[in-house]
Amino acid sequence: MHKLLKKQLKKLGFKDGTFPNGNLEKFIELVNTTYKEADEERAFLEHTLETSSQEMEELYEELKQKSQTALAKSEQRYKELATKDMLTGILNRFAFEDELQRVISNSKRTGAHFALLFLDLDHFKEVNDTYGHDIGDKLLQEAANRVLPYIRTEDVFARIGGDEFVLLFTNIKRESLPKLVNKTMSHFREPWIIDSIHLNVTTSIGVALFPDDADDKIKLMKKADLAMYRSKELGRNQVVFFENFLLD
């Protein structure tokens, strides 16, 4: 028998299975009160545990959502760092090469043609040497800002290093290419004013065609690059197509 119960029975005079007159009723009342209090405490405890459990679950879900949101933002940030040029905000070289390979694979499957343009700012080193790298950086940003609004959504524009940009005109007809290239060149012939400084900057452009000039990434980039350097040799501020370069 429980020690507390034995103690209480002793107080009430329980002996040899009997209670003194009136004490049996007191004992029954005591037992009922004890059970009632125990039930109330149990109910309170269960309610407390249930409420705490619900609050913990709600807190867990809130923290889970915040964690997932933070993780998604972190993943997006890391993706941007991995694929975007930090200065101009357009694609970087690594992301561009992936895009170029994707376009090549798609063009081989569909039979589509596209053009790869290499663009190099003329006399950019002189800008850096004369006015400092801060002005040079702003010039690169402005160059990207001039071109980006005018390319089609299916085209690809990137900075691959220094003052070199590349542009993919995808899924084009040969007869429409000169107009697109000339429009691109016109953006670089407009006056440049950076922090009230007037700059005399143009661009040299080299163009290679897929699949006419090459049908793989490395060869196509090499031929567009060669055409661009030929443009510089011819006096800068002009466009050279690789196929025409071969005829010179």
Q: Which domain holds residue 47?
A: 3-62
Please tell me the predicted confidence (pLDDT) of residue 38: 61
Q: Which of 48-62, 114-128, 187-201, 207-221 has the lowest mean pLDDT?
A: 48-62
Per-residue pLDDT tens over the stretch 87-107: 999 999 999 999 999 999 999
The answer on 101 and 24 residing in a single domain is no
Asked if the model's pLDDT at residue 110 lies above 70, the reply is yes
In the block, tokens 């209090």 appear at: 37
Please tell me the predicted confidence (pLDDT) of residue 25: 60
- Is residue 160, in this structure, part of any structural domain at all? yes
Range among 16-25, 35-44, 46-55, 143-152 rated most confident = 143-152
Positions marked active-site:
163
Per-residue pLDDT tens over the stretch 36-92: 666 666 666 666 656 666 666 676 677 677 767 765 665 655 555 678 999 999 999
- Is residue 82, in this structure, part of any structural domain at all? no
Give the CA dihedral 222, 112, 104, 106, nearest 10 degrees. 170
The answer on 232 and 166 residing in a single domain is yes
Last residue of a domain, one of 39, 62, 85: 62
Please tell me the predicted confidence (pLDDT) of residue 174: 86
Please tell me the predicted confidence (pLDDT) of residue 49: 59
- Is residue 80, in this structure, part of any structural domain at all? no
- Is residue 73, in this structure, part of any structural domain at all? no
The answer on 127 and 196 residing in a single domain is yes
The answer on 214 and 103 residing in a single domain is yes
The answer on 197 and 124 residing in a single domain is yes
Pick 145 or 15 by higher pLDDT.
145
> What is the 3 state secondary structure string of the chain?
CCHHHHHHHHHCCCECCECCCCHHHHHHHHHHHHHHHHHHHHHHHHHHHHHHHHHHHHHHHHHHHHHHHHHHHHHHHHHHHHHECCCCCCECHHHHHHHHHHHHHHHHHHCCCEEEEEEEECCHHHHHHHHCHHHHHHHHHHHHHHHHHHCCCCCEEEEEECCEEEEEECCCCHHHHHHHHHHHHHHHHCCEEECCEEECCCEEEEEEEECCCCCCHHHHHHHHHHHHHHHHHCCCCCEEEHHHHHHC
- Is residue 135, in this structure, part of any structural domain at all? yes
- Is residue 150, in this structure, part of any structural domain at all? yes
The answer on 113 and 54 residing in a single domain is no
As given in the structure block, the two tokens for residue 160 are: 């691959």
Q: Which of 17-21, 62-66, 185-189 has the lowest mean pLDDT?
A: 17-21
The answer on 173 and 233 residing in a single domain is yes
Share of the chain above pLDDT 90, in %: 60
Domain count, the chain: 2
Pick 201 or 23 by higher pLDDT.
201
The answer on 175 and 111 residing in a single domain is yes
The answer on 123 and 29 residing in a single domain is no
The answer on 209 and 115 residing in a single domain is yes
- Is residue 174, in this structure, part of any structural domain at all? yes
Asked if the model's pLDDT at residue 135 lies above 50, the reply is yes
Residue 13 φ then ψ, to 5°: 85, 20
CATH number for the domain that contains residue 193? 3.30.70.270
- Is residue 87, in this structure, part of any structural domain at all? no
The answer on 102 and 56 residing in a single domain is no
The answer on 117 and 235 residing in a single domain is yes
